[in-house]
Amino acid sequence: MNTLFSKDADFARKFDRLVDARRESDSAVVQTVSDILARMHHKGDTALAEYTARFDNYQLTDEDSWRIAPETCRAAFEALDGDLRDALELAASRIRAYHTAQLPQDRDYRDDQGVRLGAKWTAVDAAGLYVPGGRAAYPSSLLMNAIPAQVAGVERLVITTPTPNGAINDLVLAAAHLVGIGEIWRVGGAQAIAALAYGTDHIRPVDVIVGPGNSYVAEAKRQLYGVVGIDMVAGPSEILVIADGKNDPEWIAADLLSQAEHDPSSQSILITDDQGFAQQVEDSVDVQCAMLSTRKVARQSWDDHGMMIVVDDLAEAPALANRLAAEHVELAVDDPEALFAQLRHAGSVFLGRYTPEAIGDYVAGPNHVLPTGRRARFSSGLSVLDFMKRTSFIQLDESSVNAIGPAAVALADVEGLPAHAKSVKVRLK
Amino acid sequence: MNTLFSKDADFARKFDRLVDARRESDSAVVQTVSDILARMHHKGDTALAEYTARFDNYQLTDEDSWRIAPETCRAAFEALDGDLRDALELAASRIRAYHTAQLPQDRDYRDDQGVRLGAKWTAVDAAGLYVPGGRAAYPSSLLMNAIPAQVAGVERLVITTPTPNGAINDLVLAAAHLVGIGEIWRVGGAQAIAALAYGTDHIRPVDVIVGPGNSYVAEAKRQLYGVVGIDMVAGPSEILVIADGKNDPEWIAADLLSQAEHDPSSQSILITDDQGFAQQVEDSVDVQCAMLSTRKVARQSWDDHGMMIVVDDLAEAPALANRLAAEHVELAVDDPEALFAQLRHAGSVFLGRYTPEAIGDYVAGPNHVLPTGRRARFSSGLSVLDFMKRTSFIQLDESSVNAIGPAAVALADVEGLPAHAKSVKVRLK
């Protein structure tokens, strides 16, 4: 963990370095993934079975071995204890409500020159949802990825998930049952993404692929962007907490650790105007971290990437936050509204002292799939729009084509496109 | 040009082949672009000047050589003849009106459990607009790319455009003056995209890059997706005309040629239920094509990629159109509404006999930057949303964190994330 002071002479330079630091791995993955995609494109299921045997030590043989049956998912759901089932149902219903309110409006109007104009939104036909195997398979992620697709109106929703050594994750299956997904393929990695994008004899292709995964999965999605739609390029998680000295240091330390425990490359940053408070938070991080079952990961993340920035005045914070464009921003102050009004670049913002980031991971309703690595400068969290597209439309009649057509002819002529001009001219009186 | 008949026994197979045909070039470009990006990342302006000398035969030396001055653009605008200036102004004002109506609404509400939820939309800070050099530099494209960014509220809008042998395109400069863009850099190709994404000593980085370009430019954007936002992966243009036998064949032939003249790899497809009409259109294509200054390109496109599909009943057309997911779809029938209601996948739709596609290229108002190559299955035309992003926000108080917090704790526990659970638990009563 490092501490910066905004009043120090070299603060700007050090802060620049923080902004520019990349915590994402590179390049070796690129060629491997490219090879897998090419082989999948040509060999389909044959390659898929080979990769699954090699990487997951799992044999795709008879039909039953390829898929997880809906009955298995139902059984997993019914085996949940009551509190957990209630928690999943509360999460699903709140996520559904928030995303339903995102549904875009169609437009259809006639303007003052008699031109009918509009936009019609439709869902994609099919979406693929990647669910990682092992420790990173979170039922909450399944809800966050599947429900927006369903709200958008996607008719076919399919899951791919690796089952290393045949092991399946009952919690994920329970979540799949809860949202009603019946098509689950036991494949993972870049090869699963390729199968979803290109289609194979077993797996029909989809139009959009979403969901978290390791660096091979992320790179496969990046390389297939354009063949299919993808949610986004995802990197390590991050949180920025902006807190005054009136917070309980234990609360803020817990918030910082909740990002740190995700991954050694996660990043937790505190901006405060109270140096003593920063020290108390640091002490509490140490105490709490030691007690976590995730302490190894959390400790490494905090040691390598943790950061405290002490400013003279919290009014400096929004400008710094906009540079960082963090995935999660907590505003733990009495009047979060004033700071929030100045925040332009952030994935999701948690206002006030009673809104820990983790509440947004599970049950608040907004999506927890959010832009990382400063991508909040230009991209948004997952939403129903990622599963929909807009078709614009235009309708002229004899009168309106005469009103605006001549201008189109003039522009087509000057652009050297005579057939464009002709197609308008023939319709003019 | 090929003709298919939907009643033929092998129609399904032949139509599949049409759907799956790719008209986009591959792979040789990938490595070249990757090398250019790497060199640009490390060498910045030095590499940029070298590439510009090599590819454009243009020397970037003193400060004046790097940029096109706003006064040059104003002079180009003032030199336009009056009709053309009016046409550009009509186009700009109609594009601005359509895109202004696209601006998304913020949300901010409290749900029945007392949780405040919402979404705040903001513009990106800076957008780069690529304008090709030479013949493909269209003032209409500049308007279509720049105006949505301005409507979105983007503060810094910058153009890069190659000036091979020092040649500049006055029409594009005039359009830049009309929309008020003052920052224009005389660089192009993959190296210009790299400069916009990474930034150089001369050119500050941007957050989103849009605009058409050759295959190197398109590949550079694809590779830099994630470092910056991009508009989309663009391929050759295409039109699908669905027309009954009551159309004037000359009109429909002109519409088909208006796509064909763009590029040898453009594609024009007619679906009709009248075989005799199809023949008349084909004859008219031949007659009109011979008279076009763009005949060489149009002829090659039509010969290589042109297609007529004769169906028994136009009711078959929407299902075929949805498979093709074309960039442009014309519905040249008496009741376009009935067909339109069944269209799910299309970039833009042109309703009725008086709406040639070219009207949408210039003056109708909707964007002419549209998804190609079947990408209308999952993506949309350029809009103000490409220059904006949404920040979700959440605010709990003592009461609402107690209402929904325990469910978050239960889920965090079962996902093996104890710091997540703790950050909520400490705030519960």
Pull the structure tokens for residue B320: 């075929």
Q: Which of A186, A104, A174 is nearest to A146 (CA)?
A: A174
pLDDT score of A23: 64
Q: Which region among A161-170, A245-254, B109-118, B131-140 has the lowest average model confidence (pLDDT)?
A: B131-140
DSSP letter (8 states) at residue A231: S
Percent of chain B with pLDDT over 70: 98
The yes-or-no answer on residue B327 being catalytic is: yes
- Would you say residue A312 has pLDDT above 80? yes
The residues facing A117 across adjacent strands are A109, A394
Determine the distance in angstroms separating the CA of A208 from the nearest CA of chain B, rounded to an integer. 7
Q: Which region among A83-97, A384-398, A399-413, B216-230 has the lowest average model confidence (pLDDT)?
A: B216-230
Residue ranges of the annotated binding site of A for Zn(2+) are 259, 262, 361, 420
The yes-or-no answer on residue B238 being catalytic is: no
Cα separation, B356 vs B329, in Å, equals: 10
pLDDT score of B336: 98
Q: Rounded to 10 degrees, what is the CA torsion of B283, B289, B290, B292?
A: 150
- Would you say residue B25 has pLDDT above 70? no
Region A362-390: mean pLDDT is 97
The CATH number of domain B2-22+235-364 is 3.20.20.70? no
Q: Which residue in this structure is represented by tokens 């929030």?
A: A340
- B327, B330, B357, B368: which one is catalytic? B327
pLDDT score of B107: 97
pLDDT score of A278: 98
Residue ranges of the annotated binding site of A for substrate are 237, 259, 262, 328, 361, 415, 420
Cα separation, B250 vs B364, in Å, equals: 22
pLDDT score of A235: 81
Facing A393 at nearest CB: one of B262, B349, B416: B349
pLDDT tens digit sequence for B266-313: 999 999 999 999 999 999 999 999 999 999 999 999 999 999 999 999
CB count in 10 Å sphere of residue A103: 14
Closest Cα in chain A to B404:
A363
The CATH number of domain A28-107+122-230 is 3.30.70.270? no
Q: Which of B220, B284, B223 is nearest to B249 (CA)?
A: B284
Q: Chain B contacts of A415, Cβ < 8 Å?
A: 138-140, 171
- Would you say residue B319 has pLDDT above 80? yes
Residues 6+ apart with CB under 8 A from A50: none
CB count in 10 Å sphere of residue B401: 23
**Sorting pLDDT into bands at 50, 70 and 90, what band is A137?**
confident
Q: Which region among A43-47, A121-125, B28-32 has the lowest average model confidence (pLDDT)?
A: B28-32
Region A3-22: mean pLDDT is 90
- Would you say residue A16 has pLDDT above 70? yes
Q: Which of A87, A74, A286 is nearest to A180 (CA)?
A: A74
For chain A, the farthest-separated pair of C-alpha atoms sits apart, in whole angstroms, at: 83
pLDDT score of A214: 87
Region B87-111: mean pLDDT is 97
Tell if the CB–CB gap between A261 and B427 is shorter than 8 Å. no
pLDDT score of B230: 94
Tell if the CB–CB gap between B349 and A391 is shorter than 8 Å. yes
**Sorting pLDDT into bands at 50, 70 and 90, what band is A135?**
low
Coil, strand or helix at A240:
strand
pLDDT score of A236: 85
**Average predicted confidence (pLDDT) for chain B:** 95
Region A189-210: mean pLDDT is 97
pLDDT score of A25: 57
The CATH number of domain B28-230 is 3.40.50.280? no
**Average predicted confidence (pLDDT) for chain A:** 95
Region B110-136: mean pLDDT is 93
* Domain boundaries defined on chain B: 2-22+235-364, 28-230, 396-425
Phi, psi of A12 (to 5 degrees): -60, -45
